[in-house]
Amino acid sequence: MATTFEVLAEPRRRDILDLLRTGERAVGDLVEALPLSQPTVSKHLKVLREAGLVEVRQDAQRRWYRLRPEPLAEIEQWLRPYRRMWEQHLDALEHHLDQTREQT
């Protein structure tokens, strides 16, 4: 099974997740919103489902997909130290720019 990072490396899968951020969507809605065929969207949804990033609910003939936040929270937790590092660098840059402005 692919890791979460391998699954998210595919831009179209990230596009699907972006669409699901606002809530549950039917496969047909995703197909309409993306420049992809229905079989391609379904293939990507299968990979996302197998990775645990989305879950599906059957309602008559329609399949509804929604995000599963837990795997994304794990990624956020992994990124947290890197975010702090960038914030420190940006804070240092802001401080440097403030000092430069004061000197002119």
Q: Tens-digit pLDDT profile for the chain (104 aa)?
A: 568 889 999 999 999 999 999 999 999 999 999 999 999 999 999 999 999 999 999 988 899 999 998 888 888 888 888 988 888 888 888 888 988 888 87
Whole-angstrom Cα distance, residue 39 to residue 19? 18
Please give the pLDDT value at position 102: 84
Residue 9: exposed, middle, or buried by beta-carbon count in 10 A (0-12, 13-18, 19+)? exposed
Whole-angstrom Cα distance, residue 82 to residue 80? 5
Please give the pLDDT value at position 1: 52
Whole-angstrom Cα distance, residue 4 to residue 74? 10
DSSP 26: E
Please give the pLDDT value at position 85: 86
